[in-house]
């Protein structure tokens, strides 16, 4: 199963390329550990943007019977509120560093502007954008998933991925902000762990052997294998 998850395919090529590129930046010294951490922290916003694009695509070309764009606005409001709360918490952690560029956690616009003005972020952030754009085009558009989901079904899909992403970022924070050289190791582990998680999510596709295997193992008296399969496809989208 592990081999099937990690094996490069046209569908997960963007994930592999993005991770390899970030590791290469670290090796060349074009990005430091803190920049990698901030790039993954900014990914939360990118996930919301691409989910809104999925909703818009579904409204225009897909399964939704009504062209209710207010659902996108509603998603933007509740997701934006979630990101704001999460950002305050994250910036509060980042401000703990002795030489942190974050001073006041509640100054969200100022803090994000400061991060985007970092010299290294112009190298690291495009890798994250590249991975999401590639997945959006090759998976959601090319596989015509806008015919499989409604806008309502898409509204809450990002939260599981964000929970895992931010958990990893917060854990990495405590290593990166240490002054004993653990920052580089933590950054490498952050990239590698995120690569494995993203590849795992990508491998759970309809009619895949991994999906079939997991659904059978997770099946119980309350949920059949087919029901588990539908839930896995939904949660990992």
Ranges of each domain in the chain:
9-203, 205-237
Q: State the pLDDT at residue 180.
A: 52
Q: At what angle do helices 158-176 and 182-203 cross, to 10 degrees?
A: 160
* Cα–Cα distance measured from residue 193 to residue 2, given in angstroms and rounded to the nearest whole number: 14
Q: How confident is the model at residue 97 (pLDDT cuts 50, 70, 90)?
A: low
Q: How confident is the model at residue 181 (pLDDT cuts 50, 70, 90)?
A: low
Name the nearest CA neighbour of 137 among 14, 4, 20.
14
* Cα–Cα distance measured from residue 93 to residue 170, given in angstroms and rounded to the nearest whole number: 8
H helices of the chain, in order, are: 2-6, 13-28, 33-61, 70-94, 108-116, 121-135, 151-154, 158-176, 182-203, 209-218, 225-235
Q: State the pLDDT at residue 96.
A: 76
pLDDT at 28 > cutoff 80: yes
Q: How far is CA 17 from CA 2, 12, 48, 131, 184, in A?
A: 19, 9, 22, 8, 20
pLDDT at 18 > cutoff 90: yes
Q: State the pLDDT at residue 1.
A: 67
Q: Which of residues 56 and 62 earns the better pLDDT score?
A: 56
Which of 71-75, 132-136, 214-218 is predicted with the least confidence, judged by mean pLDDT? 214-218
Phi-psi bin for 223: left (phi > 0), alpha (psi -120 to 50), beta? beta
Q: State the pLDDT at residue 80.
A: 92
Task: Determine what percent of the chain is predicted with pLDDT higher than 70.
Answer: 90
Range 226-235 average pLDDT = 72
Taking a C-beta distance cutoff of 8 angstroms, is the pair 87, 111 a contact? yes
Q: State the pLDDT at residue 66.
A: 59
pLDDT at 67 > cutoff 70: no
pLDDT at 125 > cutoff 90: yes
pLDDT in tens, 129-173: 999 998 899 888 988 888 888 888 888 888 877 887 777 777 777
Q: State the pLDDT at residue 128.
A: 92
């Amino acid at each position: 199963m592990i081999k099937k998850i990690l094996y490069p395919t046209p569908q997960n090529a963007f994930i592999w390329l993005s991770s390899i590129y970030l590791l290469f930046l670290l090796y060349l010294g074009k990005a430091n550990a803190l920049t990698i951490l901030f790039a993954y922290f900014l990914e939360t916003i990118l996930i919301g943007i691409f989910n809104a694009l999925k909703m818009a695509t579904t409204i225009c070309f897909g399964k939704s019977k009504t062209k209710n764009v207010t659902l996108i606005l509603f998603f933007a409001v509740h997701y934006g509120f979630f990101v704001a709360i999460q950002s305050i918490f994250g910036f509060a952690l980042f401000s703990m560093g002795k030489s942190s560029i974050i001073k006041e956690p509640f100054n969200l616009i100022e803090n994000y502007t400061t991060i985007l003005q970092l010299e290294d972020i112009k190298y690291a952030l495009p890798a994250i954008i590249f991975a999401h754009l590639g997945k959006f085009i090759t998976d959601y558009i090319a596989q015509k998933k806008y015919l499989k989901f409604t806008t309502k079904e898409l509204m809450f899909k990002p939260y599981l991925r964000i929970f895992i992403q931010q958990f990893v970022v917060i854990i990495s924070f405590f290593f990166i902000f240490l002054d004993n050289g653990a920052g580089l190791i933590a950054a490498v582990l952050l990239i590698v762990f995120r690569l494995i998680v993203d590849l795992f999510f990508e491998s759970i596709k309809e009619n895949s052997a991994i999906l079939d295997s997991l659904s059978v193992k997770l099946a119980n008296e309350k949920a059949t294998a087919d029901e588990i399969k539908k839930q896995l496809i939904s949660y990992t989208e």
